[in-house]
């Protein structure tokens, strides 16, 4: 049995996803209005998490937006990553977290994020086994992808505001991949 002390913690930040097969890994993230989808295939022993800032569709990504900020891009990357590691779509199960309304005077992008994630999973035929979305405060999330265990901690008002500030920072473009090809 995996203990919290022995767990290898991997933090997922906005615009990232991670797929693992190691039972000692716990994926963590901090969410304000962002949403994290946690998916796993209990038979294949593989699972993962993503963390997206905005609901999205193909039009929003192709219109020049940074694809890593959008749910559609990260949901597809996560599902494809799981399938590449031996998961089967018909066995996938999901847990969805986040989507708080962190700034009262702004539109509720958190609610839109959560609704997008739930609709996307329904459309893909992926069963949602639990969710915790909405509210006024952010949350810290821990997810053990192999067992499916998830734990969340509510953030205080000050912690939520720091999370909101981090969510509003621009995402750095991905670094170029090292290559052995040299151009002159």
Class in CATH terms, 8-168 = alpha beta
pLDDT of residue 35: 96
Among the listed residues 52, 66, 124, 57, the one whose alpha carbon sits nearest the alpha carbon of residue 94: 124
> Which three-class secondary structure state does DSSP give residue 183?
coil
The two three-digit tokens of residue 15, written as one number: 């615009």
pLDDT of residue 66: 63
- Please write the tens of the pLDDT for every residue from 10-67: 999 999 999 999 999 999 999 999 999 999 999 999 999 999 988 875 454 444 456 6
- Annotated catalytic residue 38: no
Residues 79, 140 contacting (CB under 8 angstroms): no
pLDDT of residue 98: 96
Domain assignments of the chain as residue spans, ordered by start: 8-168
- pLDDT band at 75, cuts 50/70/90? very high
- pLDDT band at 104, cuts 50/70/90? low
DSSP letter (8 states) at residue 54: B
Rounded Cα gap, residues 101 and 123, in angstroms: 25
Average pLDDT, the chain: 83
Question: What are the two backbone dihedrals, phi and then psi, of residue 5, each rounded to the nearest 5 degrees?
Answer: -65, -40
Rounded Cα gap, residues 14 and 12, in angstroms: 7
How many Cα atoms are found within 13 Å in the side-chain-facing hemisphere of 16? Answer: 15
Kindly name the residue from 19, 20, 30, 34 that is annotated as catalytic.
34
Does the pLDDT value for residue 168 go beyond 60?
A: no
- For the entire predicted model, the pTM comes to 0.80
At which residue do the structure tokens 């609901």 appear? 55
pLDDT of residue 87: 98
pLDDT of residue 83: 98
pLDDT of residue 163: 59
């Amino acid at each position: 049995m995996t203990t919290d002390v022995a767990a290898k913690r991997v933090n997922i930040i906005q615009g990232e996803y991670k797929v693992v097969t190691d039972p000692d890994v716990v994926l963590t993230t901090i969410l304000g209005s962002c949403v994290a989808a946690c998916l796993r295939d209990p038979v294949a022993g593989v699972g993962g998490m993503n963390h997206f800032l905005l609901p999205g569709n193909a039009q929003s990504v192709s219109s020049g937006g940074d694809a890593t900020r959008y749910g559609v891009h990260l949901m597809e990357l996560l599902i494809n990553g799981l399938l590449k590691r031996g998961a089967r779509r018909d066995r996938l199960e999901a847990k969805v977290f986040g989507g708080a309304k962190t700034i009262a005077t702004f539109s509720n992008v958190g609610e839109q994020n959560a609704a997008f994630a739930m609709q996307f999973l329904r459309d893909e035929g992926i069963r949602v086994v639990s969710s915790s979305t909405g509210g006024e405060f952010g949350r810290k999330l821990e997810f053990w992808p192999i067992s499916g265990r998830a734990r969340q901690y509510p953030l205080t008002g000050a912690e939520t505001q720091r999370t909101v500030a981090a969510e509003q920072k621009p995402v750095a473009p991905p670094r170029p991949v090292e290559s052995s090809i040299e151009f002159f």
